[in-house]
Structure 1
Amino acid sequence: MNQSAGRYLILAGIVVMLLGILVYFLHDKLDWIGKLPGDIRVEKENFRLYFPITTLVLFSLLLNLIIFLIRRFFS
């Protein structure tokens, strides 16, 4: 492994740690995740379907923005 791969691993660990701290302390404030307009939720007596389309798109955009910023400022 080279030095830049180690730098990315450290940065990824810091991001995961910060996300964990955020979820730990703000779990009651983050109940909107998965309940956005556009998320498909079907609940019947013996069947449950949950497909969070809008939440997935939102997280994808956020992750792409983070990766873009990391590449721009740390490369």
Structure 2
Amino acid sequence: MNPLAKTLVIVGIILITVGLLWQVGGKWFPLGRLPGDISIDKGNVKFYFPIVTCIIISIVISLISYLVRLFK
């Protein structure tokens, strides 16, 4: 199998697994509604920026990529 095709299949499987875990595990770990996420409601305007959620996802992805490079 072409290395690019193999990589795309693996990335697709990982994304599907993460999506399913996010749907099922969202009850216990509320990503997107963490303390520190910015939410502003003023009249008809609502602004929401999940800064803490972005930081946690970035750390997790960095750790996963580090472990993949370490065991490669």
Alignment of 1:8-23 (within 5 A): 8-23=7-22
Equivalent pairs, count: 72
Q: Which residue of 2 aligns with 1:55?
A: 53
List gaps (5 residues or longer) in structure 2.
Answer: none
Query: 2:48, 2:38 → 1: CA distance?
Result: 6
Provide the residue aligned with 2:43 in structure 1: 45
Consecutive unaligned residues in structure 1, runs of 5 or more: none
Q: Residue 7 of structure 2: SS of its match in structure 1?
A: helix
CA gap of 1:53–1:70, structure 2 versus 1, over 3 A, is: same
Deviation at 1:16, TM superposition (A): 0.7
Bigger shift: 48-57 or 11-20?
11-20
After TM superposition, where is structure 1 displaced by more than 6 Å over at least 4 residues in a row?
Answer: none
The equivalent residue for 1:32 is 30
Q: What is the letter of the counterpart of residue 42 of structure 1?
A: I
Q: CA RMSD in A?
A: 2.3
Percent sequence identity is 35
Could you tell me how far 1:23 is from its partner in structure 2?
3.1
Q: Aligned letter for 1:49?
A: F
